[in-house]
Structure 1
């Protein structure tokens, strides 16, 4: 019989840059973030969820496209969203997704997802600054923080898990 290798695999996790997102100045307003994003993602034909990882001085570290979905939803999970944030040593993040329909009104799923990401960020020590929904028109967006959706009453983590695990409510 052949020899069985019973050792433990040693793994290494690294991020590999894809392309440059040009931003020399800090992003301190939703408008600045929208300007940065719409140059790259103005012609999307399906929902895309992305995250801007930022330093404590609001300098953009990188942009991660976390999920690409269909015409009207995409599946998003905290482990996928915050993976690049942890690897980037991000202090804060900006959540962004688009509505290809052009409708900027946040859905119940958008609000539930935002609450879940804010809670996950608190556990990880990564502040969620805002969640922006970008539309099809140039500079069209909705800020969930500006709408007062970013401050949530404390809810049990299990309740957040139940909200996220429902299908298709787990989608945007």
Structure 2
């Protein structure tokens, strides 16, 4: 029997435009990178207890109208990074930052998965065109208030 391990490896192909410490700075940098793309890109920010950004990870690259989300991969990256919280960011190539039902569902599932692993989903930010963005935490706070009872419902959908 072979023994294996999983490790977190720093990407060597990407160089951040500048060093960022706060989530606000990170969102601003990521916004510049993805706001005018022709496909959806989903990025997670892993944060330390202090609120400092540990790293960012491209979770998925999608199409013009959607992106596949693997919640387990996002949680795994956060745990391997030693994070205490996560911020999810993605763009809408249509230019409208309005949240879809799929966005709500992913947010709810990730909030629950984070809770199970003692992580906190701080926000899910959707970036549109012309400097538009929305915070699901501000506009749909109920998505972040999850209970274990909801796990059964979400897992059977």
Per the TM superposition, whether the score is higher than 0.5 is yes
Residue in structure 1 matched with residue 152 of structure 2 by the alignment: 158
The reply on whether 1:72 has 2:65 as its aligned counterpart is: yes
CA-based RMSD:
1.7
Consecutive unaligned residues of structure 2, counting only runs of 5 or more, are none
Query: What is the CA–CA distance in structure 2 between the aligned matches of 1:146 and 1:156, rounded to whole Å?
Result: 21
The reply on whether 1:23 has 2:19 as its aligned counterpart is: yes
Query: What is the CA–CA distance in structure 1 between the aligned matches of 2:118 and 2:21, rounded to whole Å?
Result: 24
The reply on whether 1:144 has 2:136 as its aligned counterpart is: yes
Query: What is the CA–CA distance in structure 2 between the aligned matches of 1:38 and 1:95, rounded to whole Å?
Result: 12
Q: Which has the larger radius of gyration?
A: 1
> Are the counterparts in 2 of residues 46 and 100 from structure 1 also a CA contact under 8 Å?
yes
Of 3, 20, 25, which aligns to 1:10?
Answer: 3
Report the Cα offset of residue 16 of structure 1. 1.7
After TM superposition, list the pairs within 5 Å mapping 1:34-73 onto structure 2.
34-73=27-66
**Larger helix proportion of the pair:** 2
Report the Cα offset of residue 48 of structure 1. 1.3
Query: What is the CA–CA distance in structure 2 between the aligned matches of 1:110 and 1:96, rounded to whole Å?
Result: 11
Q: With the length of structure 1 as denominator, give the TM-score of the two structures.
A: 0.80
Q: With the length of structure 2 as denominator, give the TM-score of the two structures.
A: 0.87
SS of 1:64's partner is strand
Structure 1 residue ranges, 4+ long, deviating more than 4 angstroms after superposition: none
Deviates more, 1:124-133 or 1:33-42: 33-42
SS of 1:81's partner is helix
Report the Cα offset of residue 153 of structure 1. 5.4
User: How many residues are matched?
Assistant: 152
Query: What is the CA–CA distance in structure 2 between the aligned matches of 1:117 and 1:153, rounded to whole Å?
Result: 10
